[in-house]
């Protein structure tokens, strides 16, 4: 809690200025039933700063973090190396404390960084335009569905069974209030889906993922053609952006909207956030794209400059014409992404992606026949032949973060374990996991 220097006289003067008798009068609109009659039982009284730090540190020490143990966690959030220069640069005051760049004459640095970010997202996804980021991959996917419905003037949505379950849940939550009809397929960890047969004349879009939740790599070129033949759009999602350094980009498959999670580049796991939503589409759909778009221009002297070209949110235009009610973006996370990717360059990103895949292949070989995937990037499913949740708990007690049990999302698949490897996964980590599993 920050230090407030007001004394009793200061508070009395402020109460007099606003015409209120005392501090309790400020809460007159709170019903008595909602007010505490006595202190909360068991809640400790105030403690010193030293005592609080010690208590919080002890609580934090109970967590087995990815920096303290061999980690094979993935399922939409991945641990990668982040160069020290990324944190050093994003903590510069010009970036760290800057507000939304509404005034381009004093925001050229921020605007140029966002412009470069958009350019990088377009290059990664194979699309023509990208916005200046969104909250995370899940909410970006929801915005893509809403955008597809606006473009097609339809409300039926087909959802792949292998889309990340968190993303599926967020789509379903929004659909409760937006009137969309969802055809959500069952998860398919082993056999490929036939989504083309589900497309009708009322389908607004089909939402798919590659690499999908179970790690499978998918070519959606044929599905894109099937969508377009029926007037529907194809939305392709990714959760591991590093994969785009090696795999065919969704734009080359015919995707209409590409969205995903950018956390893997420049941003740590952070116990669940903040993350970074990436959003790209075709230029013909630019007016329906949510969020903000930074553009390049020239000033009165003919010098290169940057501005907010489009801001299609309700803060800037009439609410009924807004494409989204999303009221901010992940600007600092986008900057970290941009700096890290600029440091890597095209060659470095490709090498990083190749290293990730090589590490996963090495781990799969050590685990042997338990791996179910016929294709993967840096994550795959293993059939443990026993309750994977219990297994993960047992291994955590031995100091190994073995992966994510699929039953956490789909109880019917209790023996399946989702395992990821990145450039930070050492051979000794792999050997420890293989030995314990054996």
pLDDT value at 280 more than 90: yes
Band of residue 312 on the pLDDT scale cut at 50, 70, 90: low
Would you say residue 165 lies in a domain? yes
Would you say residue 34 lies in a domain? no
Residue 396 is classified by DSSP as: H
Residue 371 is classified by DSSP as: B
Give the number of C-alpha atoms closer than 13 A to the C-alpha of residue 324, restricted to the C-beta side: 26
pLDDT value at 155 more than 90: yes
Query: Based on the domain organization, do 99 and 246 belong to the same domain?
Result: yes
Query: Based on the domain organization, do 355 and 270 belong to the same domain?
Result: no
Q: Look at residue 313 in the predicted model and tell me its pLDDT.
A: 61
383: β partners: 416
CATH number at residue 364: 3.90.1150.10
Mean pLDDT over 198-202 rounds to 97
Would you say residue 304 lies in a domain? yes
pLDDT value at 33 more than 60: yes
Picking from 325, 340, 355, the residue at the C-terminal end of a domain is 340
Number of structural domains (the chain) is 2
Band of residue 328 on the pLDDT scale cut at 50, 70, 90: low
pLDDT value at 406 more than 70: yes
More confident residue, 96 or 348: 348
Please, what is the average pLDDT of the chain? 94
Picking from 340, 362, 383, the residue at the C-terminal end of a domain is 340
The model's pTM: 0.89
Picking from 321, 340, 359, the residue at the C-terminal end of a domain is 340
Band of residue 44 on the pLDDT scale cut at 50, 70, 90: confident
Would you say residue 65 lies in a domain? no
Instruction: Tell me if 208 sits within 8 A of 160, measured CB to CB.
Output: yes
Q: What domain range includes position 171?
A: 84-340
Q: Look at residue 291 in the predicted model and tell me its pLDDT.
A: 87
Would you say residue 140 lies in a domain? yes
Mean pLDDT over 402-423 rounds to 97
pLDDT value at 347 more than 60: yes
pLDDT value at 196 more than 90: yes
Query: Based on the domain organization, do 245 and 143 belong to the same domain?
Result: yes
Band of residue 327 on the pLDDT scale cut at 50, 70, 90: low
Q: Look at residue 343 in the predicted model and tell me its pLDDT.
A: 98
Return the exposure string of 153-165: e unless at least 16 CB atoms fall within 10 Å of the residue's CB, then b: ebbbbbbbbbbbb
How crowded is residue 385: how many other Cβ atoms within 10 Å of its Cβ? 9
296: β partners: 306
Band of residue 2 on the pLDDT scale cut at 50, 70, 90: low
Instruction: Tell me if 296 sits within 8 A of 306, measured CB to CB.
Output: yes
Mean pLDDT over 203-212 rounds to 98
371: β partners: 382
């Amino acid at each position: 809690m920050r230090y407030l220097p007001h004394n009793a006289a200061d508070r009395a003067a402020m109460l007099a200025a606003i015409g209120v008798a005392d501090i309790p009068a400020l809460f007159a609109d709170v019903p008595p039933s909602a007010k505490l009659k006595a202190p909360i039982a068991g809640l400790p009284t105030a403690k010193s700063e030293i005592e609080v730090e010690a208590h919080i540190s002890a609580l934090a020490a109970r967590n087995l973090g990815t920096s303290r143990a061999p980690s094979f966690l993935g399922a939409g959030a991945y641990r990668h190396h982040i160069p020290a220069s990324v944190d050093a640069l994003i903590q510069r005051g010009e970036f760290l404390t800057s507000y939304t760049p509404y005034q381009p004459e004093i925001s050229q640095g921020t605007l140029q960084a966002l412009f470069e970010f958009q350019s990088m997202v377009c290059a990664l996804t194979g699309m023509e335009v990208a916005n200046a980021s969104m909250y995370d991959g899940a909410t970006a996917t929801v915005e893509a569905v809403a955008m597809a419905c606006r473009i097609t003037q339809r409300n039926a949505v087909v959802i792949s069974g292998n889309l990340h379950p968190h993303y599926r849940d967020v789509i379903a939550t929004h659909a409760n209030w937006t009137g969309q009809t969802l055809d959500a397929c069952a998860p398919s960890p082993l056999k490929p889906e036939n989504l083309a047969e589900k497309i009708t004349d009322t389908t607004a879009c089909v939402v798919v993922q590659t690499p999908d939740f179970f790690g499978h790599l998918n070519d959606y070129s044929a599905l894109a053609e099937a969508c377009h033949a029926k007037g529907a759009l194809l939305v392709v999602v990714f959760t591991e952006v590093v994969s785009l350094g090696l795999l065919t980009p969704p734009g080359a498959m015919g995707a209409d909207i590409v969205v995903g999670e950018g956390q893997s580049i420049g941003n740590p796991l952070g116990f669940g956030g903040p993350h970074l939503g990436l959003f790209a589409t075709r230029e013909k759909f630019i007016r329906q794209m949510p969020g903000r778009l930074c553009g390049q221009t020239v000033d009165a002297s003919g010098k290169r400059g940057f501005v907010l070209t489009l801001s299609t949110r309700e803060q800037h235009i009439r609410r009924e014409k807004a494409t989204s009610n999303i009221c901010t973006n992940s600007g600092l996370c986008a900057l970290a992404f941009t700096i890290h990717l600029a440091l890597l360059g095209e060659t470095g990103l490709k090498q990083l992606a190749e290293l990730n895949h090589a590490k996963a292949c090495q781990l799969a070989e050590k685990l042997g026949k338990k791996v179910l995937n016929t294709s993967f990037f840096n994550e795959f499913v293993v059939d443990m032949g026993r309750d994977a949740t219990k297994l993960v708990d047992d291994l955590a007690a031995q100091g190994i973060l073995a992966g994510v049990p699929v039953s956490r999302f789909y109880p019917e698949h209790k023996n399946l374990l989702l395992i990821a490897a990145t450039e930070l996964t050492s051979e000794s980590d792999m050997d420890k996991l293989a030995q314990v599993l054996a």
